[in-house]
Structure 1
Amino acid sequence: MRRRPWLVMLPTGLAAPRLAAAQPAERRRRIAVIISSAEGDPDAIGRAAALREGLRALGWMEGRNLQVTYRWGAGDVARAEAHARDLVAMAPEVIVSNGTPQLAALMRHNRHIPVVFVVVVDPVGAGFVQSMARPGGHVTGFATYEPELGGKWLALLREFDPRLRRVAIVGDQEFRGFAGLSARILARAPALGLAATDLPFRSPGEVVEDRLAAFAREGGAGMIVLPTALNLLARTRLIGAAAHARMPAIYPFRPFVESGGLMSYGFEPLDLFRRAAAYVDRILRGERAADLAVQLPTRFEFLINLQAARTLRREFPGMLVAAADEVIE
């Protein structure tokens, strides 16, 4: 006798749910990103996009396995404080913090959430980390400037205008990192035959244009714009004031020259945002911020704007044109 084999049939309505349950949805990790520029500013859009690009390359996708909360305009000190309180209360797993004022606010309000900072001047001198190699605590990231760059800015200004005698250093010297940068410029200027002076600019409500106009009236004047978040937010005002006073100025990075500024020398910020993604990835995978060394820029660029020079009724010397990484017409 041939026996028919037993066929075990499951109701079709039961099999599918069990298979689906065996493949749970991917967990979304939560991070926060604070950008110093205003929302909608091309610079802010570019910085956020560079970070997302770096995260995607490491397998982190918004809406799939990553939830990102954004805050903008942190160059304003009052807004930086509000952002810090708000996001610490939300308790993300990592905060990416752009700019010195925002990091200072987070240090006051946050005791345990890991922070990856981007574009912060002299984090050791400012007291944000213990050392570059071993930051300690819950904060690490990507610093921007060493004080020696102050001498480079002075030299470029002097090369553009050999008649220069006086230089205003525009920024918020109350922050320790910027104070160190300003101090190096003040110390280096006499060797180049220049007198440098601090010109404070600490809040958006200050009429910095009047101060710059008064400084320029004595003649032989130039301007160094420090890499503060507020200066970036107010770049059109600073560029306009320099043009109105026919005063040569050097700025810390590309967006100033793209907005009509004369020239810039500094790090490439988008590169730092892409590199910051690697630290976010490592912290989300279990490493401690305290064990991740603070890194410095590896890419610098010198940009000049020929139209801005013509507005000043000047021309760039051939040596500066040849040295420029990019010439904007």
Structure 2
Amino acid sequence: MERRAFLGLLVAHSFLISAGDAQSERLRRIAIVMNYLVDDPIGQARFASIIQSLQALGWTEGRNLTVQASWPGADLGIIQKEINELTKGPWDVVVPTSTPITRVLLKSNIKAPIVFTNVSDPVGDGFVQSLPRPGRNVTGFINYEGPLAGKWLQLLKEIDPRVNNASLLFNPDVAPRHGDYYWNAFESAAKSLGIIPTAAPVRTVDDIDEAIRKISDTPGSGLVVASDSFVGVHRAKIVASAAQHRVTTSYPFIIEGALISYGPPLTQFYSDIAPYIDKILKGAKASDLPVQVPIKVDLVINMRTAKELGLQVPATLLSRADEVIE
């Protein structure tokens, strides 16, 4: 081969390599809409877990990735406003982190692949066609399954056998299926346990204290807190009100001061979405990635709170706990 021809091939080969490197290093744009307020330390920690997990997969902000975060919490008006802003720009992946955020996003004209997390009932809410084959360029991670509401009530009765009336607290505006997703299992468990079930819908912060105060007025009453984005944002208020009114309460996730909680480790749902984002950025279709369900559930008991409520926690319950806070 002539030297001139060889050098021409070498230059062409080098150009192709450079073009490939440029392709792999081009900035990909991700939008993450958080179901927390920006000053919430838990929300910040969970957002950081997404970024750290992406970094571990080779995606670094400023080099090959740019991330835009918004923090509307559970306010439907702010959620709609944030989604409207997102429609103005192209995205490689959009990550909604709650049921109401996902609902508003899917009603918008955003065409980017969607990877949701912290969503309970994506099939029932019409987000996906099925868990194995979600379709619609959407996939993600389920946080809670409806039958857990029955388990929350069983644990409440076990830790406080005096409970014969129980209320389920949720925000019908943002809860999956407006609360029915949890209510059906809650009501069924109540009947089997000889407990009178009552719904305790709340829509504002003031509603929380009023609802729990009413529950405390009835002897033998307990409270089960369902999982929705409103509850997540105002979790500290719920714990404080339950303590103030001395209401035995079970929770779906670990909260400081909570008597008993039973649910999957939520931080995992944020870090676990990184591999799905990675696959999509490398060419996979969201519709081909199955929706993932929780595989681990933790039982946590706070002995200090139990003592404050005058409860003697059964040894059988303590032996099953994944964590006991002394």
Q: Do they superpose with TM above 0.5?
A: yes
Q: Which amino acid aligns with 1:196?
A: P
The equivalent residue for 1:122 is 121
After superposition, residues 202-241 of structure 1 pair within 5 angstroms as: 202-204=203-205, 206-241=206-241
Whether 1:273 aligns to 2:274 is: no
After superposition, residues 1-329 of structure 1 pair within 5 angstroms as: 26-174=25-173, 175-176=176-177, 178-204=179-205, 206-254=206-254, 256=255, 259-329=256-326
User: For the Cα contact (< 8 Å) 2:171–2:178, is it kept in 1?
Assistant: no
- 2:87 is paired with a residue whose SS is helix
Cα distance, 1:98 vs structure 2 = 0.6
Distance across 2 between alignment mates of 1:77 and 1:260: 28
Q: Which amino acid aligns with 2:267?
A: L
- 1:261 is paired with a residue whose SS is coil
- 2:312 is paired with a residue whose SS is coil
User: For the Cα contact (< 8 Å) 2:124–2:177, is it kept in 1?
Assistant: yes
User: For the Cα contact (< 8 Å) 1:74–1:83, is it kept in 2?
Assistant: no
The equivalent residue for 1:5 is none
Cα distance, 1:314 vs structure 2 = 2.0
Cα distance, 1:280 vs structure 2 = 0.7
What number of residue pairs does the alignment pair up?
A: 306
* Identity %, equivalent residues: 36
Distance across 2 between alignment mates of 1:203 and 1:63: 40
User: For the Cα contact (< 8 Å) 1:122–1:177, is it kept in 2?
Assistant: no
Cα distance, 1:228 vs structure 2 = 0.7
User: For the Cα contact (< 8 Å) 2:215–2:222, is it kept in 1?
Assistant: no
Runs of 4+ in 1 over 3 A off after TM superposition: 21-25
Cα-to-partner distance string for 1:101-120 (whole Å, 9 max, x where unaligned): 11111122134221110010
User: For the Cα contact (< 8 Å) 2:99–2:119, is it kept in 1?
Assistant: yes
Q: Which amino acid aligns with 2:154?
A: A
- 2:214 is paired with a residue whose SS is helix
User: For the Cα contact (< 8 Å) 1:116–1:140, is it kept in 2?
Assistant: yes
Q: Which amino acid aligns with 1:140?
A: T
Question: 1:170 and 1:273, CA in 2 relative to 1: closer, same or farther beyond 3 A?
Answer: same
Cα distance, 1:177 vs structure 2 = 6.8
Distance across 2 between alignment mates of 1:104 and 1:232: 17
Distance across 2 between alignment mates of 1:163 and 1:198: 19
User: For the Cα contact (< 8 Å) 1:92–1:113, is it kept in 2?
Assistant: yes
Distance across 2 between alignment mates of 1:122 and 1:24: 40
Q: Which amino acid aligns with 2:236?
A: T
User: For the Cα contact (< 8 Å) 1:126–1:177, is it kept in 2?
Assistant: no
Cα distance, 1:158 vs structure 2 = 0.6
The equivalent residue for 1:15 is none
Distance across 1 between alignment mates of 2:109 and 2:289: 19
The equivalent residue for 2:3 is none
Distance across 1 between alignment mates of 2:22 and 2:104: 39
Distance across 2 between alignment mates of 1:274 and 1:31: 15
Distance across 2 between alignment mates of 1:59 and 1:296: 26
Cα distance, 1:85 vs structure 2 = 1.2
Q: Mark the runs of 5 or more structure 2 residues left unpaired by the alignment.
A: 1-14
Question: 1:177 and 1:218, CA in 2 relative to 1: closer, same or farther beyond 3 A?
Answer: closer
- 1:67 is paired with a residue whose SS is strand
Cα distance, 1:56 vs structure 2 = 1.4
Distance across 1 between alignment mates of 2:203 and 2:280: 34
Question: 1:286 and 1:317, CA in 2 relative to 1: closer, same or farther beyond 3 A?
Answer: same
User: For the Cα contact (< 8 Å) 1:76–1:203, is it kept in 2?
Assistant: no
TM-score of the superposition, structure 1-length normalised? 0.88
- 1:327 is paired with a residue whose SS is strand
Question: 1:177 and 1:266, CA in 2 relative to 1: closer, same or farther beyond 3 A?
Answer: farther
Cα distance, 1:219 vs structure 2 = 1.1
Distance across 2 between alignment mates of 1:328 and 1:182: 29
TM-score of the superposition, structure 2-length normalised? 0.89
User: For the Cα contact (< 8 Å) 1:304–1:326, is it kept in 2?
Assistant: yes
User: Over aligned residues, Cα RMSD in angstroms?
Assistant: 1.9
Q: Which amino acid aligns with 1:30?
A: R
